[in-house]
Structure 1
Amino acid sequence: MPHEFAAYLKANPGYHRIMKQIGEKYESLGHLGGTIRLDKMTDAEREVLRSLFKKNYLQKSASFAVEKFISAFAATRYEGVDFEEMLASYFGEKLSWKKDVKSQYDDEKSRCFGEIIEVFKESPGALWLTDLLKNRNNAYPILSMKYNEDPEHLRRLLTQVCIGLNQCVAKPQKVRLALFASQMTRDPHAFDMNREGGRLLLYALSAYYRLNYPKNAEAQMELLYKAGLIYDEVSNYTIGRGLQAFAGDKIHSGWVGFAELGEPLHLSLWNIGMIDRVACVKNRVFVFENPTVFSEIAGLMEDRPCSLICSVGNVKVATLLLLDKIVQSGGMIYYGGDFDPEGLIIADKLKKRYGEKLVLWHFTPEDYERIKSKKKISESRLKKMDGLLSPELKKLAKVIRSSGFSAYQELLVDVYLNDIEKLN
């Protein structure tokens, strides 16, 4: 990735003078810092700055901090890339510092991190910092940049994150993230996902659980929930029908009423967090990606018993936790979705999570050919299927690539309905 990042910057003339000055600053200061100044800016440079900093640059000159330039890539695919390694790739050689500057810088940086590690000794927080400093992975590029900006601010930030990490993995009891942050730091927003503390806590948790850093909101919420931290528990929801829930050995009366009436029930992360297990009709639940298909099946089944779930497109944490509880209670999942790259990726994620407890329901080349649409799939979207793991879905993806058209599960309603009636 550092080489790809360097190639991207080299390809745009608007970055050339910026990178030259960053290299010079790096060699003179011994770290990534200082201020860049562009006089007599070119149109290409103006466009680069507008794209990075989200404002127009109509003047002849502009100046900005190196840290600000690096931070501008935080929300891009290059987030987390080691900027020093990228510089070496960009210039074709490792940049050299003045020896006395480098020695002093290394000593001070090692002392700063060493003092924090000593405070937390053999705790998860200390082990996280020790590992990332040794291997220069995980949040290392961010910590290195933050150290250059303000070592004392970084010290306070890492202290908060280590305290938070140690507490939530030691006692993973369900607690709202804002309340947890208040208890740990006296600031309810300290671990918000758009704050430095929140991002670093996610890096620390991903290292603790040996997972990749979560790149999207759903994956972030799932990781937090794994550590007992609840974020956005009301708007994160799924839809169920014909499900019975139990808190301990006691049946949940609210779920009972909807199940008896055969009506859909919106289930938030809050609702699902209050129950221990979920029972399905005949120990089977039929899951649909598409709300229209779910509603049609639910309506056609009328007052006949069957358990249904609608994941409402991309699978939310609420859906995953509900399915977890169903599987833990001995249930089988039948999952049906669309025949396009996004639909297959969702199905693949679920198959990876639930294995033999999940049936890829009508994800066959024959089903695809029966309902194939005339909607063309772009090459960029088709490429998304390269990472599929399920043999069944790989086989289907090959057919979809060859055809180039998507297919949608609305046309399988009669097939789904026939299966449900047979199985129930």
Structure 2
Amino acid sequence: MENNEKFFATEVFRKLANELRRRYYLNGDYGQTIGLQTFSSLDTDRLRALLGLTPIAWTKKKRLSITDLEHALKNSAFSWSIDEFVTYMTKKPLILKAEEDAQVAKRFERFCVKLDQIDRIFTANLSEPQLISWFNKTENNFEHFQIVAKALAQLPTEYTRMPVFAYQQTGNPHAFDDNQQAGMLLLQMLQSLSQLPETDDHLAAVEVKNQLLDQFYLLRDDINNYVAVKGLTAETDGKANQMWTQACIEQCSWNVPLKEILRMETIRPYQGTKLLIVENSGVYSILLDALPEIPMICSSGQFTYAVWRLLRKLVQTDTQMYYVGDLDPEGLVMAQSLLNRFPDNMKTVGMNLNNYHLASRPSTLTEQRLKQLRLIKEPSLIEIAEQIKETGQTAMQEGFLRELINELK
């Protein structure tokens, strides 16, 4: 018996069994023949021997008859039916796709019933694809649903830091972190309960998430989330904040935490009504020295939530804002994003074709980076985007600093 088991313990029989199981799963039968090209990369000597064919006869065959296979298995030492052969080789029971789908549907129905027992808010607000995704990930684990149900019933009515809220609800300050199931589910539920419009602007994803939390008085991080500013003043209760004012008098650049931005009722330039937004921190530092009279902030590439909230505060005081970024896909897309979000208060500066030609250098432009250029709609930026696609070159702000300073002056 052991020798017989070894006879079938080869890759050709495993592949044959898996193919037969796949056919049964989809169609409920094994078909009539199997093309021998299925086994072209395998040693088929034992399959040939099982069928009782000579090497010459085997080379002439193109297809394997299922009937011949059935007879050969029946006459083997195991006296197998095809069903028995498949289940022995695959170590899995034969099942039809329709039967499996019906079983999964019943389990999903039980899953939804269990959710309703916890709180109907989940099945009432999550979409079917979202529910199916949670079912596939955590079919028999409802702990995160219980945690989130409790949290949704006790959302804060004044600003609360997320770790504090998580600790209040679970005893674990990290329970609602983005990489935790309860954290992912909570964000999903808040989105479904929110009145905020959905956005396809991938560059503003950080703002969307934090704006969503902000609507429910939750804060991710209001200290380490900050923005570098110079020349901005702020007021609360109709009084100028002395820290902001003194920084303007001293012409000092400082990092303002989100906490302070949220606390201020109004924020505006200390002098005039214009503000410069600089993408690159190195360029920002140079411009601070070259143009000390110009109010400016540094966005540091991808905008933090502190940057977005600051910009919204500045829009409320009708500040005219100018953005300068690198002349590459990421810089152009960020500029377009700002123009989309603040069409009446935002312009670009220094981001023109002349500066591109002056400073352009060969760059590694992947297909993914070039795809971003499809988002560009502003005519002046489209010209640069077309040049990037045509030449494969980009231009950094450091390459047109003198021209930028002259334009700003």
Question: So what's the TM-score if we normalise by structure 1?
Answer: 0.66
Identity of aligned residues (%): 24
Name the CA shift for 1:222/1:395 in 2 (closer, same or farther; >3 Å).
Answer: farther
**Residue 201 of structure 1: how far off its partner (Å):** 1.4
Q: Which has the larger radius of gyration?
A: 2
- Describe the shift of the 1:236–1:229 C-alpha distance in structure 2 as closer, same or farther (beyond 3 A): same
Check if 1:296 corresponds to 2:286.
yes
**In structure 2, what residue type is equivalent to 1:364?**
N
1:23–1:95 Cα contact (<8 Å) kept: no
Separation of aligned partners in 2, 1:165 and 1:363: 46
For 2:110, what is the secondary structure of its paired residue? helix
Call closer, same or farther: CA 1:102–1:268 in 2, change over 3 Å. Answer: closer
The corresponding residue for 2:253 is 264
Bigger drift between 158-167 and 238-247 goes to 158-167
Q: Does 1:370 align with 2:358?
A: yes
1:285, distance to aligned residue in structure 2 (A): 0.6
1:44 is aligned to: none
- Alpha-carbon distance in structure 1 between the residues aligned to 2:373 and 2:211: 23
Shift of 1:117: 4.0
AA in 2 matched with 1:320: W
Contact between 2:230 and 2:254, CA under 8 Å: does it hold in 1? yes
Contact 2:279 2:298 in 1 (8 A): yes
Structure 1 residues 392 and 105: CA distance shift in structure 2, 3 A: same
Give the residue type in structure 1 aligned to 2:241: H
- Quote the Cα distance in structure 2 between the aligned partners of 1:112 and 1:400: 55
Alpha-carbon distance in 1 for matches of 2:334, 2:316: 21
Matched, 1:178 2:168: no
Q: Any residues of structure 2 matched to 1:220-299 within 5 Å, and which?
A: 220-280=209-269, 281-299=271-289
Report the CA distance between 1:106 and its aligned residue.
4.4
2:93 corresponds to which residue? none
Q: Distance in 2 between matches of 1:337 and 1:101?
A: 55
Describe the shift of the 1:129–1:393 C-alpha distance in structure 2 as closer, same or farther (beyond 3 A).
farther
Does the CA-based 8 Å contact 1:352-1:390 persist in structure 2? no
Deviations 1:294-350 (A, max 9, x none): 111110224xx3211111121111111111111111111100100011111221222
- Please state if 1:387 is matched with 2:375: yes
Q: Which residue of 1 aligns with 2:131?
A: 140
Residue identity matched to 2:404 = Y
In 1, Cα distance between the equivalents of 2:350 and 2:215?
A: 32
- Is structure 2 residue 117 aligned with structure 1 residue 130? no
Distance (whole Å) between structure 2 residues aligned to residue 129 and residue 264 of structure 1: 50
TM-score relative to the length of structure 2 = 0.68
> Using a 3 Å threshold, how does the CA distance of structure 1 residues 98 and 334 change in structure 2: closer, same or farther?
closer
Check conservation: 2:166, 2:175, Cα contact below 8 A.
yes
Q: Which residue of 2 aligns with 1:190?
A: 175
Equivalent runs, 1:158-173 vs 2, <5 Å: 158-165=145-152, 167-168=154-155, 171=157, 173=158
Contact in 2 for aligned 1:237/1:267 (Cα 8 Å): yes
Give SS of 1:191's match: coil
Q: Does 1:329 align with 2:331?
A: no
Aligned to 2:187: 202
C-alpha displacement of 1:210: 4.2
Deviation at 1:402, TM superposition (A): 1.1
Aligned to 1:97: 99
Distance 1:227 1:413, change over 3 A: farther
Would you say 1:338 and 2:326 are equivalent positions?
Answer: yes
Report the count of equivalent residues. 318
CA distance in 2 between partners of 1:271 and 1:298 (Å): 22
Residue type of the alignment partner of 2:166: A
- Counterpart Cα distance in 1 of 2:224 and 2:333: 23
* Residue 300 (structure 2) aligns with: 312
Partners of 1:277 and 1:23 lie apart in 2 by 66
> Aligned partners of 2:219 and 2:179: how far apart in 1?
16
CA distance in 1, matches of 2:111, 2:128: 14
The question of 1:408 aligning with 2:399 is answered: no
Structure 1 residues 418, 106: closer, same or farther in 2, change over 3 A? closer
Specify whether residues 110 and 266 from structure 1 end up closer, same or farther in structure 2 by C-alpha distance, changes over 3 A only: closer
Whether the aligned pair in 2 keeps the contact of 1:177 and 1:191 (CA below 8 Å) is: yes
Which residue identity lines up with residue 401 of structure 1 in the other structure? Answer: K
Tell me the secondary structure at the aligned position of residue 99 of structure 2.
coil
Q: How far, CA to CA, are the matches of 2:281 and 2:400 in structure 1?
A: 14
CA distance in 1, matches of 2:301, 2:226: 12
Take 1:223 and 1:271, find their aligned partners in 2: how far apart are those partners? Answer: 19
Change (3 A) 1:241 1:198: same
For 1:105 and 1:417, the matched residues in 2 are separated by: 66
Counterpart of 1:396 in structure 2 is 384
Deviation at 1:401?
0.8
Q: What is the aligned partner in structure 1 of residue 41 from structure 2? A: none
Matched residue SS, 2:98: coil
SS at match of 1:355: coil
Distance of 1:225 and 1:23 partners within structure 2: 51
Q: Distance in 2 between the 1:360 and 1:181 partners?
A: 41
Return the alpha-carbon distance in structure 1 between the equivalents of residues 197 and 99 of structure 2: 35
Deviations 1:38-87 (A, max 9, x none): xxxxxxxxxxxxxxxxxxxxxxxxxxxxxxxxxxxxxxxxxxxxxxxxxx
- Amino acid paired to 2:337: K
* Amino acid in the other structure paired with 1:406: T
